[in-house]
Amino acid sequence: MLTNDVSADTASGNRRDAAEVARARREIRDTVESWAVWRDAGDWERFATVWHDDGYMTATWFQGAYTEFIRVSREGFEAGVRILHFLGGCSIDVVGDRAIAQTKMTISQRAEIDGVGVDVLCTGRFYDFFECRAGQWRIVRRQPIYEKDQLFVIDPSATLALDPDLLDSLPTGYRHLGYLQVKQGFTVKNHLPGLVGDAVDELYRAGAAWLGGAPSAGIPLH
């Protein structure tokens, strides 16, 4: 995993002093927070500004270019899909004009399963590949890490029986979120990064390579 307070030379020889690193972290944190507020509010015009032109987004239900993510998110929002985000602490490693930001987050979705209203909460981290281009720190790739989740029936008098085969087919970190999304008609990707395992180890390696000057932000999970 990456360590804090990284400001060493990049492959191109760039170096940022402590004040520049502090400014970079403030701008990156502001971008991370704006992502959550603008996306959840349906402010699509401003939401588009947090990405670089080649920005890539991965979620349980989507993998692709940020422009396509905005399109399908907007369609879902207008159709009543509600997937909300709450942010916690943030750790940012800066090396030259690149950075990796890890931000604690909770994904919340409210919908119905078999006619029963439920809330699902999934806790994890946003793992963001950032780059400063033309003086602007923006997201090149976002890969959530799914650590654990829970499902709550909204009406305590209601009864809900989950399909154990479907539930067990989904990864531990997002099995209830994935279950809800499958029931809503989404195609949910398996083998996304969790708290431990090969997928998150590969993500950490991609992050270290990005800070070391790799030509791309790892291999997006198609």
Residue 117 lies in a domain: no
pTM for this one?
0.91
Host domain of residue 204: 18-106+125-148+191-211
Residue 5 lies in a domain: no
Residue 155 lies in a domain: no
What does the pLDDT look like over 16-66, one tens digit per residue? 789 999 999 999 999 999 999 999 999 999 999 999 999 999 999 999 999
CATH number of the domain within which 93 lies:
3.10.450.50
What's the CA gap between 62 and 95, in Å, rounded? 29
| pLDDT value at residue 14 | 57
Nearest CA among 52, 216, 43, 44 for reference residue 139: 52
What does the pLDDT look like over 162-174, one tens digit per residue? 999 999 999 999 9
Identify the helix (H) or strand (E) that includes residue 160: none
| Counted domains in the chain | 1
Residue 204 lies in a domain: yes
Residue 171 lies in a domain: no
Nearest CA among 212, 201, 197 for reference residue 100: 212
Q: Residue 190 carries which DSSP code? A: S
Angle at 141 between CA 193 and CA 186, to 5 degrees: 60
Share of the chain above pLDDT 90, in %: 90
What's the CA gap between 169 and 138, in Å, rounded? 35
Residue 170 lies in a domain: no
Residue 40 lies in a domain: yes
Mean pLDDT on 169-191:
96
Share of the chain above pLDDT 70, in %: 92
Residue 168 CA to its chain's centroid (Å)? 23
Identify the helix (H) or strand (E) that includes residue 147: strand 136-153
Residue 183 lies in a domain: no
